[in-house]
Structure 1
Amino acid sequence: MNQPRWKKRPEGSNWGDYGSNDQLGRVNLIGTEQVLKGVKEVQEGVTFCLSLPLDIPGGKVLNPRRSPPTLTPTALDEDQYINFPLSTHSPKLNDVISDDQVQLSLQYSTQWDSLAHVGALFDGDDDGTPERRYYNGYMAAQDVLDLSGEPSQRHDSYARRLGIETLAAHGMQGRAVLVDLVRAFGSGRTLVGYRELLEALEQQNVVVEQGDMLVVRTGFAEALLDMKGTPQPDVLKSTGAVLDGTDQALLEWITSSGIAAICADNYAVENLDRELEPDCCSKLPLHHHCLFKLGLPLAELWYLKDLAVWLHSRGRNRFLLTAPPLRLPGAIGSPVTPVATV
């Protein structure tokens, strides 16, 4: 299908700009030039792991829908393959095998959101009736499927379009630039709109260019890690900066800056602790703007302290970021182990 699947696109969106069947959105801007720009930032060959341990936060306090990973051995008939001696089946073998599997929520800890993560009710047909749609007009029930209750299916949900595998296949490697909101505003809760963000960028001599991945340190993940798997919601609510998704100037800056992704060390990137106005259209306005309108992926709960300290000590803020998600077809989010190379 070469024609757009919509007659009207959301105001301020880029639907169709990369083609009617595009599933990458602003990730299209991470091309060979951006990879080479990232490689040029590698001066000392030092690497930093930007992932929390994937069993952090711990428990289900921060999100009751998401469960920490549970490891179990693989099994064959009655045999559990943990410290399993193959010699039980053949006296000539002396191998001992351990082999495991995991059940986890894909967005429990350090993660990417796919473009199928947040959509909206939007009248793309321009017929007066809004439909459940995602970036570039992709439709719920046609492109992002609920298969629960259909025993013939292999999955209970499946993103036929916009799944996380599209980002994995693209690579998610290129130049990233870090803005350290802890250094700018401290570790307490600060609402960061356009004015505050520009203040931090100018203070730290951060220059953001088209195709860069913007990496935002707030200090939230550091506090979370210090809680050792027992998160304290009351403390966390007053910890770390959050982007103000209601600030239209900030959203316009995200559009005009040309950034290809936002990667933050906090939960949800934006402020969740606000009262919704009666006429408010979205609880997650920054997600709405980035994922739904621009096709700009968001990443959450990264660990950035060690990288930020190192970069500051050398008067730098750019680096090569390598952060592909799992190539898991149909998945809506993914754990990730990002690596910064400097």
Structure 2
Amino acid sequence: MKAGIQVATSPYGPEDQLGALNQITSAMQAAAMERTDAARIYDLSIDYFVGMPSFQAAGDPSYQIYMSHTPEGTVVDNLNGVGSEVNQRVCYSGDVIFMYTHTGTHIDALNHFGVDGKIYNGFSASEHLGSRSWTKGGAEVIPPIVARGVLLDIARLKGVDCLPDSYAITVDDCVDELARTGLTLNAGDVALVRTGRMRYWPDGSRTLGNPPGLSLDAGRWLTAQGIAVIGADQECVEVGPSQHEDNWLPGHCHFLAEAGVPMLELVNLEELSQDEVNEFCLIAAPIRLRGATGSPIRPLAIPFR
């Protein structure tokens, strides 16, 4: 079975780089924030540390952190030129991090995946990709996301702690979960899908690999509802391995290149599930890494009253 995915032309014009994010209006943002009860704020991100699970199968580096300055080393090096006495008094530390931009809780920008050499809105690798980064569709153009969020807790729907490996979430699963919670998806919403994988974090042997996730049909159904962002508690949102012979990550190609919908991955949805919070204001902003295909992000969920 083939996925048959095509790169979409944006309805917002030839220079558009936001895709579905255009659907989030200032009025919608204000309405979402007005409904919040800030007595409890849920942090949906994970922390970064050496040895953390990360995607390395394609040769990308693991997360590393190194001290570039230490209090004792600064006294010895005197790189600031102020002398031993001052450096012994001023306790100075600094560090450097090195990582793949798709490590930990992160957002996939629209230039992350495309089809036949083109990304969303027809920007091409031949014209818009330099020797270092894309000039279109990068993480820096993603605005702060403030929107209504809806949790699709498919693991809870199925009565399991975690969906089985490679379980393909269906359209019926999504419809049934919305019926269970009495919610609907509206244009401009952020849809977050829980498989249960994050309950095992940071055990990489149980968190990553052969993920349960959205089937392509379910992904297409969700984007047809007008969602602005899709996210999940595993590494690729979609089911793995691919069910389509012509595409190894058809969900990525659909969401990013065909629908213009950014993707949130490795989102920690466990506390939302435990407290049965299915509707909330989602606030998140990536680091503005110019041209990058992804960026770390810290999503916050504030329940509605």
Flag whether TM exceeds 0.5 (same fold).
Answer: yes
Aligned to 1:161: 136
One of 174, 183, 186 as aligned partner of 2:147: 174
User: Which amino acid is 1:336 matched to?
Assistant: I
Identify if the C-alpha distance between structure 1 residues 236 and 272 changes in structure 2 by more than 3 Å, giving closer, same or farther.
same
SS at match of 2:286: coil
Aligned to 1:140: 125
Q: Distance in 1 between matches of 2:141 and 2:94?
A: 29
Alignment of 1:41-120 (within 5 A): 41-55=35-49, 58=52, 63-74=57-68, 80-83=69-72, 84-85=74-75, 89=83, 91=85, 94-120=89-115
Q: Confirm or deny that 1:304 pairs with 2:298.
A: no
**TM superposition shift of 1:141:** 3.1
Kept after mapping to 2: 8 A contact 1:41/1:318: no
SS at match of 1:306: helix
Cα RMSD between the aligned structures? 2.5
Structure 2 length-normalised TM: 0.86
Q: Confirm or deny that 1:340 pairs with 2:305.
A: no
User: Which amino acid is 1:339 matched to?
Assistant: L
Identify if the C-alpha distance between structure 1 residues 56 and 206 changes in structure 2 by more than 3 Å, giving closer, same or farther.
farther
**TM superposition shift of 1:98:** 0.5
Q: Distance in 1 between matches of 2:63 and 2:274?
A: 30
Identify if the C-alpha distance between structure 1 residues 180 and 62 changes in structure 2 by more than 3 Å, giving closer, same or farther.
farther
**TM superposition shift of 1:14:** 5.0
One of 152, 160, 168 as aligned partner of 1:191: 168
Q: How many aligned positions are there?
A: 290
One of 213, 224, 228 as aligned partner of 1:242: 213
Greater alpha carbon shift after TM alignment, 101-110 vs 31-40: 31-40
SS at match of 2:126: coil
Structure 1 unpaired stretches of 5+? 1-9, 75-79, 122-131, 148-156
Sequence identity, in percent? 26
Q: Distance in 2 between matches of 1:271 and 1:297?
A: 17
**TM superposition shift of 1:40:** 2.6
